[in-house]
Homo-oligomer: A and B are copies of this chain.
Amino acid sequence: MTTTEAQNGRPATAILLVHGPLREGLAASLTGFVYRNTGHIVYHDQYVDREKQLYFTRLEWGLPGFAVPREEIGERLNAAVAEPFGVRWRLHFSDDIPRMAIFVSKLPYCLYDILGRCRSGEWKVEIPLIISNHPELEPVAKRFGIAFHCFPITPANKRAQEQKELALLRKNGIEFIVLARYMQILSGDFVAAYPDAIINIHHAFLPSFPGPQPYHAAYQRGVKIIGATSHYVTEHLDAGPIIEQDVIRVSHLHTVEDLIRMGRDLEKVVLARAIWHHIQRKILAYGGRTVIFG
Contacts and interface: CB of A to CB of B under 8 A. Distances in A.
Interface string A227-254: 1000000000000011111110101110
A225 B249 contact: no
A294 to B, nearest CB: 5
A242 B224 contact: yes
A99 to B, nearest CB: 22
A209 B35 CA distance: 41
A242 B264 contact: no
Q: For the complex formed by this chain, how many copies does it contain in all?
A: 4
A253 B294 contact: yes
A154 interface: no
Nearest to A262: B273
Interface residues of A, number: 64
A28 B292 CA distance: 24
A245 B220 contact: no
A222 B109 contact: no
A183 interface: no
A72 interface: no
A289 B222 contact: yes
Contacts of A24: 35
